[in-house]
Amino acid sequence: MAERMGFFTDSSVCIGCKACEVACKEWNGVPDDGFVFRATSYDNTGQLGADTWRHVAFIEQDDRWLMSSDVCKHCTHAACLDVCPTGALFRTEFDTVVVQADICNGCGYCVPACPYGVIDRRERDGRAWKCTMCYDRQLGGLEPACAKACPTDSIQFGPLDELRARAEARLERLHADGVAEARLYGDSPGDGVGGTGAFFLLLDEPEIYGLPPDPVVTTRDLPEMWWWAGGAAVTLVGAVAACFLGSRR
């Protein structure tokens, strides 16, 4: 296994240029998402989906704009991996999570399994699509297209441990400068998904950015559920056998 790689997105320096969205679409051949105009926002993509692997949120508040580029979190404990029946989803040597489109059968199990609502099925073919953290570029020793295109270094790519240390230092500087509302999101290995491979520095509560405050791996109870299901099956077989033997007598 190679060193774990990841994204650190610093929303405090995001200028909303959407260069990351364009670069992602160009490199990965992601189709347009309909060019939907939303009269309530300058955000023309709305949310992550099969045709939007990087999404720049525009959040208008009374005294400021908040902007942040969202992406698949590449969870440490990825529920999408747990539920995929075909092996289309796999974990790479960089510890990222990728969908193999040629293996995906469009079952859609991964869509509700994702605690962040990242994965989506494309209407044109029914298959699931999401950010691959530019797996092909990583194999060639290149950084993902979104990070390469970001003009302010809001999106930073590299070894995850180094990014976490860099994020802590950035947070300390912001707090020292009086930006008390700054916080990190998704950086802790102790959170509900074991930490993420893509984490963020935010300037408000996660919910403001459309992020769940306490994400959990949605398959965490599967082992216990299978245990109870197995016990119920054994009990049912025993009851049927007892009835059958009783009727024979």
State residue 150 phi and psi, 5-degree precision.
-65, 120
Query: What count of other Cβ atoms lies within 10 Å of the Cβ of residue 138?
Result: 19
In the chain, what are the domain boundaries?
A: 5-218, 219-249
In this predicted model, what pLDDT tens digit does every residue of 168-182 receive, in sequence order?
Answer: 999 999 999 999 999
**Per-residue pLDDT at 248 exceeds 90:** no
Residue ranges at the known binding site for [4Fe-4S] cluster: 14, 17, 20, 24, 72, 75, 80, 84, 104, 107, 110, 114, 131, 134, 146, 150
Of the candidates 129, 155, 152, 122, the one whose C-alpha atom is nearest the C-alpha of residue 53 is 129
Query: Which is more confidently placed, 10 or 123?
Result: 10
Choice among 14-23, 25-34, 225-234 with the minimum mean pLDDT? 225-234
Query: What count of other Cβ atoms lies within 10 Å of the Cβ of residue 128?
Result: 24
- CATH for 5-218 is 3.30.70.20
Query: What count of other Cβ atoms lies within 10 Å of the Cβ of residue 22?
Result: 14
Residue 83 three-state SS: helix
Residue ranges at the known binding site: 14, 17, 20, 24, 72, 75, 80, 84, 104, 107, 110, 114, 131, 134, 146, 150
